[in-house]
Amino acid sequence: MTILQTIEGEIDASGRFHPIEANVTVPAGRVLLTVLEPHRHETALLAEAALAEDWLRAVEDQAWAHLQPGR
């Protein structure tokens, strides 16, 4: 029985694979490679943490309360 292992990583412009997690070794052998589409909203994802400070304020809840009639 073969145990399959999934390793998330990125491939650079030279075709080299770089695992996302530190200290991960990629064993030599056969692989199946699935290329994922890049994040379409990567900029929004990067800004989310900075914007969360404003979003989580009580004044924001009050400003948007009219859109949440059940609350």
Instruction: Please indicate, yes or no, whether the overall pTM of this predicted structure exceeds 0.85.
Output: no
Show the domain range for 22.
9-67
Mean pLDDT, range 52-58, rounded to an integer = 85
Which one is predicted more confidently, 71 or 55?
Answer: 55
* Alpha carbon distance 71, 59 (integer Å): 15
In a domain, 3, yes or no: no
Q: How many domains does the chain have?
A: 1
Instruction: For residue 60, give every residue at least 6 positions away whose Cβ sits within 8 Å of its Cβ, in sequence order, or none.
Output: 54
In a domain, 37, yes or no: yes
pLDDT on residue 45: 75
In a domain, 2, yes or no: no
Average pLDDT, the chain: 83
In a domain, 42, yes or no: yes
pLDDT on residue 71: 65
Phi and psi angles of residue 17, each rounded to the nearest 5 degrees, phi first = -90, 135
